[in-house]
Chains A and B, each alone.
Chain A
Amino acid sequence: MRNRNITYCLLALVIMVFSSCKKEEKYHSITDKINAESKPYHGKLTSEELLEGTNLIKITEGEHTFLIPERKGQLKSYACIECHTQPVTQMYSESGQKAHWDIKLNHANGDAMNCTTCHNGNDMNNLKSLTGTRIDFNSSYKVCAQCHANQFEDWKGGAHGKKVAGWAPPRASMTCVNCHNPHSPGFESRWPAQFNSHIELERKQDLDH
Chain B
Amino acid sequence: MDRRTAFKKLTASLLIGAGAISTSCSTLASDDAKEKAQIDWEEQFKGNYKLMSDEEKQDTINRLMRSYELRTGKTISMTAENPAEDVLFGYAFNISKCQGYMDCVSACVKENNQDRNSEMQYIRIHEMKDGEGFKFDKADDNYYHEVPVEGHFYMGTQCFHCDNPPCVEVCPVQATWKEDDGLVVVDYDWCVGCRYCMAACPYDGRRFNWSKPEVPESEVNKNQHYLGNRMRKKGVMEKCTFCVQRSRKGKNPACVEACPTGARIFGNLLDPNSTIRWVLENKKVFRLKEDLGTDPKFWYFMD
Q: Which A residues form the contact surface with B (CB < 8 A)?
A: 25, 29-30, 33-34, 37-41, 43-47, 49-50, 150-151, 154, 157-163, 165-169, 171, 173-174, 179, 187, 189-200, 203
Contact = CB atoms under 8 A, between A and B. Distances in A.
B252 A41 contact: no
Contacts of A173: 275
A41 B87 contact: yes
A29 B144 contact: no
A50 B251 contact: yes
28 contacts: A25-B164, A30-B295, A33-B163, A34-B269, A34-B277, A38-B277, A39-B272, A45-B248, A47-B250, A157-B275, A157-B279, A157-B282, A158-B275, A158-B276, A159-B94, A159-B278, A166-B246, A166-B252, A167-B247, A167-B251, A169-B271, A174-B262, A187-B260, A191-B146, A192-B144, A193-B102, A198-B118, A199-B142
B103 interface: yes
Interface in B227-265: 246-252, 256, 259-262, 265
A40 B272 CA distance: 6
Contacts of B86: 37, 39, 41, 43
A4 to B, nearest CB: 37
B46 to A, nearest CB: 26
Interface residues of B, number: 63
Nearest to B280: A34
B297 A30 contact: yes
Interface of B: 84-88, 92, 94, 99-103, 105-106, 109, 118-119, 121, 125, 141-148, 163-164, 246-252, 256, 259-262, 265-280, 282-283, 295, 297, 301, 303
A72 B1 CA distance: 61
Contacts of B271: 38-41, 169
Nearest to A155: B262
Contacts of A189: 99, 146-148
B270 A41 contact: yes
Nearest to B100: A192
A193 B275 contact: no
A146 to B, nearest CB: 19
A152 to B, nearest CB: 12
Contacts of A174: 262
A189 B121 CA distance: 23
Nearest to B182: A30
Given A168-B250, A192-B143, A193-B101, A158 B272 contact: no
Contacts, number: 152
Given A159-B265, A171-B273, A191-B146, 8 more contacts: A33-B163, A39-B271, A159-B301, A166-B251, A171-B274, A171-B275, A190-B147, A194-B106
A151 B260 CA distance: 16
Contacts of A50: 250-251
A193 B105 contact: yes
A37 B88 contact: yes
**Prevailing SS type, chain A contact patch:** loop
Ranked nearest first, the 7 interchain pairs of A and B with the lowest CB-CB distance are A158-B275, A168-B250, A41-B271, A157-B278, A45-B250, A166-B251, A192-B102
A166 B256 CA distance: 9
A154 B88 contact: no
Nearest to B246: A166
B119 A197 contact: yes
A195 B269 contact: no
B101 A159 contact: no
A157 B101 CA distance: 25
A200 B142 CA distance: 7
B273 A192 contact: no
Contacts of B251: 50, 165-167
Contact of B295 (A29, A41, A150): A29
A162 B258 CA distance: 10
Looking at A163, A167, A198, which has the most chain B CB atoms within 10 Å of its CB?
Answer: A167
Nearest to B281: A157
A195 B144 contact: yes
A161 B262 contact: yes
Given A159-B275, A193-B105, A193-B106, A43 B163 contact: no
Contacts of A196: 119, 121, 142
A161 B260 CA distance: 9
A155 to B, nearest CB: 9
Contact of B270 (A25, A38, A46): A38
B121 A194 contact: yes
